Amino acid sequence: MLGLKLPTDPRWVNIVEKNIEDILTDHAYCEQKATSTAISLIVSFPEYTDLVQEMVALVKEEISHFKMVHDKILENGWILGRDRKDDYVLQLITFFPKGGSRTTQLVHRLLYAALIEARSCERFRLLSEELEDKELAEFYRKLMVSEANHYTMFLGFARQYGDRKEVDQKWNDLLDYEAEIMKNLSKSETIHG
């Protein structure tokens, strides 16, 4: 369903289980960045009313996810650690050339967002199925469903605003590029790394 070309190495869950505090901190910042992305799309493309409406709803949902993850951190007696750079996202967003029409820029941002959500969904599925901590596994199962909805929403908007054939080709090319990035990841206690 997600179309990812290279699945996460299941051994990544072993790294996560040894570093739950780190993964929760990284996850909290991922939710915060997802909130920021939705706000940025509203600010950058206010003329797309249906997109703005969906992004307002997404801001509320993502910030509630941030709170849920932050609460998990506090439940364990930890505090939110410092944000770290996300090598996955930093590499991913270099794929499309800068510039182009506003519509092209919007489509590219939507495709990036769709892919980040798809990879998050895939990672959450893995955590929901493989974590020994069943409470945490159930927590990730619930979040996985939201991520899948976000992925399809962003991809749907890209197809709505851009030429469908061109958008689908860009999506496929981006999936190929992302698979190459993933070959060097799945080795750290981060959601995407």
The DSSP code for 45 is -
Give buried/exposed letters for 14-40 (b at 16+ CB in 10 A, else e): ebbbeebebbbbbbbbbbbbbbebbbe
* 10-183 to CATH, choices 1.20.1260.10, 2.60.40.790, 3.40.50.150, 3.40.190.10: 1.20.1260.10
At 79-116, the pLDDT tens digits run: 998 888 888 999 999 999 999 999 999 999 999 999 99
At 4-48, the pLDDT tens digits run: 999 988 888 888 899 999 999 999 999 999 999 999 999 999 999
What pLDDT does residue 9 have? 86
Residue extents of the structural domains in the chain: 10-183
Residue 54, classed as helix, strand or coil, is helix
Please say if the pLDDT value at position 190 is more than 80.
Answer: no
pTM more than 0.75? yes
Please say if the pLDDT value at position 176 is more than 70.
Answer: yes
